[in-house]
Amino acid sequence: MDLKVICVFSIVLVVALSTLAEGNRPPTRCQCKLPAKERKNCGYPGISEAECKKAGCCFNSSVRGVPWCFSPKARKVRKICPSNAHARRNCGFPGITAKECERKGCCFKARPAGVPWCFYHHVVEE
């Protein structure tokens, strides 16, 4: 392969991997409360607690014979329609009906004037 192609490929790979790594938020304490039999391995044999947590996984070495580095429970989220009219992000188009807006999975409130009436939900973690 040409050296330029290898350099470009390397840069693309580094950018892609760094983007993936940035999405790893540490799990909450509740997400790591799993019965030992429900743990799904998230690491490799001998992984350290720091490496495990850096990967966005839970670590608990108190139970023998089960993964110590394991996948957390999924985060619970719910969608809410923002109450602040000025926090709305437009989801529709001028003249959209409530039914059309809701079919798109968005919130609809036909007041006040000057703000979007069809707007996206806010996602809130529970």
Mean pLDDT check: name the lowest of 14-23, 48-57, 72-81.
Answer: 14-23
Q: How far is CA 64 from CA 6, 35, 36, in A?
A: 45, 13, 9
Domain 77-125 has CATH 4.10.110.10: yes
User: Tens digit of pLDDT for each residue in 85-111?
Assistant: 999 999 999 999 999 999 999 999 998
CB proximity list for 35: less than 8 A, separation 6 or greater: none
For domain 25-74, the CATH architecture is Irregular (4.10)
The predicted model scores a pTM of: 0.48
Q: How far apart are the first and last CA of the chain?
A: 50
Q: Domain residues of the chain, as ranges? A: 25-74, 77-125
How confident is the model over 23-73, as pLDDT tens digits? 457 888 888 998 999 999 999 999 999 999 999 999 999 989 999 999 999
| Predicted pLDDT of residue 16 | 42
Confirm whether 25-74 and 77-125 share one CATH topology: yes
